Chains A and B, each alone.
Chain A
Amino acid sequence: MSRRNGTAVAIWLLALAACLVIVWRSDYTADMSAFLPKSPTATQQLLVEQLKEGSLSRLLMIGIEGSDAADRARLSQDLAARLQASADFASVRNGSAAALARDREILFDHRYLLSPAINKERFSVDGLRQAIGDSIDMLASPVGLMIKGLLARDPTGEMMELLGTVNGGASPATDHGVWVSQDGRRAILMAQTTASGADTDAQERALTALRQAFAAARATTGNGGDEARLLVSGTPVFSVDTRATIRTEVQRLATISATGIVLLLLVVYHSATALVLGLLPVLSGALAGIAAVSLGFGGVHGLTIGFGTTLIGEAVDYSIYYFVQSQAAPPADRRWLEAFWPTVRLGVLTSLCGFASLLFSGFPGLAQLGLYSIAGLLAAAAVTRFVLPHLRPAQFRIRDTSALGHRLARWLNAVTRLRGAVWLLAGIAMLVMFMHRDRLWNTGLADLSPMPAAAMALDQSLRGDLGAPDQRYLVVIRASDREAALQAAERIAAALRPLVDQGVLAGFETPTRFLPSEASQHARQAALPTRADLAARLTPALAELPLRPEKLQPFLDDIATAVRMPLLTQATLAGSTLGLAVDAMLWQRPAGWLALLPLQAPASGASAGSIDPPTISQALSQAGAADALFVDMVAESNRLYTDYLHEAILLSLAGLLAIIVLLGATLRSATRLWRVLAPLLAAVLLVIAALALAGERLTLLHLVGLLLIVAVGSNYALFFDRAEHGHGNEPQTLASLLIANATTVIGFGILAFSKLPILHAIGITVGPGAVLALLFSAILSGGQHADEIS
């Protein structure tokens, strides 16, 4: 006996030590990865990449409020200069004239490589006459004022060709030389972090650097600048804040529920030894769970640990059953193992069936949760069954709970008369569900987002001020190298242009606007005439125009330079607004290059606000780029969520089926099966109806919660079933059920108060559901709760 004692305890200690090592060495994340699919399709992969690494994932939108306009402008300039100097930021834009001038300089210097109008025709006598004639006509127009100074160098108007494309998009208003919001009360800037959006630590450093830079700018700008406030939004803020929220929430919730459960157990047991022993299965379970997830997934998500608080609530039940039910005298130890353990074991197996269905979810957060719970429950149950009896001191006593049990038994005999009410409530619940059937489910991923509404509103507002692209519709090109990507982009742009003329598209962006492929640049360079040829052609071309060739010497000089000029590269554009635009649309991936062409849906007309996918696909195949993808990011993320939801529904049903099969096989009686399941189903129905009435739309996390009601509640139902089949429910058993239920409600109920929608959804479902499951199991149990004393 003592050797067997030693073996069980030794195995337990060894396993605990192994788990500790694994847990110690685990990677912990708290980013958005829990929300992203495990095995994505090509389009989903893109969505994920965009979310994690795309240019938008590195974009910070910054606002300065308070003080006065001049002060905000000074702060904007000062802040921009500081960020530019910081290694944390790749680029900063605040609309200053200097940046605009730099963009224009690049465009003007490279106009003969950039202008799509350049070809041999343009420099023939006729072509020159036409182009220069147009420019002179333009001088008559108000636009002429902008080009007059350039005419001698650019008589064919290439700059106009380029400017027409630069100013096409919306850009912020300007006041005191910097960008401001439409109402002028906020100076605005855009900054791109150096680090990838997936590197949350680096994003956090960048945000700290930004806040410090602002504080420093405010300190130097002086006068009244003290009132100015910094507003920041963008994906980096979201990921950093999400991580911080998850961390603090998980700590807060775990502390509160652990404290609650410890206090409850102290009151119940009245024994510190019992408390410590009772918590051993829980701690072992939590360690085993984290270790299992770490081994199975290569990392542990913060949300999984957050969910651990609920595991505390469930795993502690086993030790409660053990202590309370075997409380009479030490020999009762064996009796518990014989009389009660089979019921507890069946309860554990039922719970495992529920959690196992989560394992197969494509939603990584859920799969981790499933594995965590399975490993945790198994470990907790095993420690209760095999280790606790050996650790239990000989003179072990907890407070006598039989008085509580007797009161419960009397009360139970009274409430069984309410069985009609349960059916009535279940009927009403079904009616409510039917009436709310159209708005029962939430169909968007947005409500799972951990960002508070205020943060989303600020994001919207800054995005609107900046005219930042929403990048909903994208044509995506994947190519082996940059040149191939750019050439494909040029072909696709040529195929899309007619769609703009037809009004199918309001417009589109392409990286080739500022960075044409080398092939195009070479072709344009090759189309430029020699100085002598050009001079010879200018005389006849200008014959009927009011411009004499000798005034166009600067034009000859510039053409001569352009012929020999090195090609424009991504490096040439570095640091300019143009470079930022190109970097956002063209980047290198582990395998090859990616180019994006954001499309703009028409603002009005028959197809306002949307783009017809077949039309675009047709244009893509016309361009010989059938492997390019057209992606509607909003539709794609909604589809992703809908897939998750459908999958979760299927998995939950499979889990439910597994539970039914398990119970059916063990109980071997349809009546007993129904007795166990009926109260659980009634509890589920009532919870759904209550949530619907409260206006809460069900997400897939609520669904998981419903499955957990069945998994957890089955423990209670099984004890009542056991009572009816020969054993009678001893007052001790009733007391243990009530205490176990209380810990479950504490564990899950706390989650209902979480700011994280994922945890809230599970808490608000399982907390009330567990109480109802116990109550309904008692009411529907048939009232054979023999009170042995009275």
Chain B
Amino acid sequence: MKSILTLLLLTLALPAAAWDLDALMQDLARHKGGRARFVEKKTIALLDKPVSSSGELIYAPPNRLEKRTVLPRPESLVLDGDKLSIDRGKHKLTVRLSEQPEALAFVDSLRGTLTGDKAALERSYKLRLSGSQEKWTLDLLPNDQRIAAFVVRITFGGSRNQVEWIQYLQADGDRSLMTIEPLEAQ
């Protein structure tokens, strides 16, 4: 009887015990994509108060991520493979990420986390996971000097396979926090 109970407990405990970085990555990789609302707040030393923006994120794994900002000014940003296209009405801009190390650092962290590509993340960052499967926090610490010159730490927070917030801490002390709220079942 006692052994059955132990077995039951073990069975219940097993997923928790086995939950680690690999498991999180597998969870994330299973994300089917979809739409989410976001609010982003940037704190910049040059400015007296933080600037906020909000809008919608549309993710189609593994390569396409669209960020449609509504406020303060409509803007669409599409990340498709190596190409980052920004459309701000009058201004249209296409950036090849490979030519923009700053942008690439962010995109790699975002793309790596969203697709659960641990190998890709570990190429540029040291990963540190804390919390539980229900409420986890993943720190990305750049190990490439070029990236570290811009960003000190990127933190993703979430529950199971859902990223709920992303925080960037830049080398100059500026920081931004984006909160994400899914609009559809995943």
Contact = CB atoms under 8 A, between A and B. Distances in A.
Whether A and B are associated in the same complex: the answer reads yes
Contact of B99 (A134, A136, A174): A174
Contacts of A140: 40, 42, 51-53, 69, 72
Contact of A146 (B75, B88, B91, B103): B103
A160 B91 CA distance: 9
A146 B100 contact: yes
A118 B150 CA distance: 31
A614 interface: no
B26 to A, nearest CB: 28
A151 interface: yes
A151 B47 CA distance: 10
Most buried by B among A145, A164, A546: A145
A331 interface: no
Interface string A743-779: 0000000000000000000000000000000000000
Interface in A389-433: none
B77 interface: yes
A171 B40 contact: no
A168 B94 CA distance: 6
Interface in B61-82: 67, 69, 72-73, 75, 77, 82
Contacts of A693: none
Contact of A151 (B46, B86, B92): B46
B58 to A, nearest CB: 15
A283 interface: no
Interface residues of A, number: 31
B42 A139 contact: yes
A151 B147 CA distance: 21
A100 interface: yes
B177 to A, nearest CB: 12
A547 B53 contact: no
B120 interface: no
B22 interface: no
A694 interface: no
Interface in A61-117: 95, 100
A574 to B, nearest CB: 23
Contact of A548 (B48, B67, B91): B48
B165 interface: no
Interface string A135-176: 011111111111010011000000011011001100101110
B2 interface: no
Contact of A546 (B47, B69, B82): B47
A548 B48 CA distance: 8
A164 B88 CA distance: 11
A437 interface: no
A140 B150 CA distance: 16
A551 B106 CA distance: 27
B127 interface: no
Contact of B93 (A139, A167, A174, A547): A167
Contacts of A145: 102-103, 106, 150
A161 B51 CA distance: 22
Given A547-B46, A547-B48, A148 B103 contact: no
Given A140-B72, A143-B93, A551-B46, A173 B82 contact: yes
B98 interface: yes
A586 B123 CA distance: 45
B125 to A, nearest CB: 17
Given A139-B42, A139-B51, A140-B52, A148 B98 contact: no
Interface string B33-48: 0000000101010111
A139 B102 contact: no
10 contacts: A139-B42, A140-B69, A141-B77, A141-B88, A142-B86, A145-B150, A167-B95, A173-B82, A175-B98, A551-B46
Given A140-B42, A142-B106, A547-B46, 17 more contacts: A95-B99, A137-B73, A138-B88, A141-B86, A142-B77, A142-B103, A144-B42, A145-B106, A148-B44, A160-B91, A164-B92, A164-B93, A167-B93, A171-B96, A174-B96, A174-B98, A548-B48
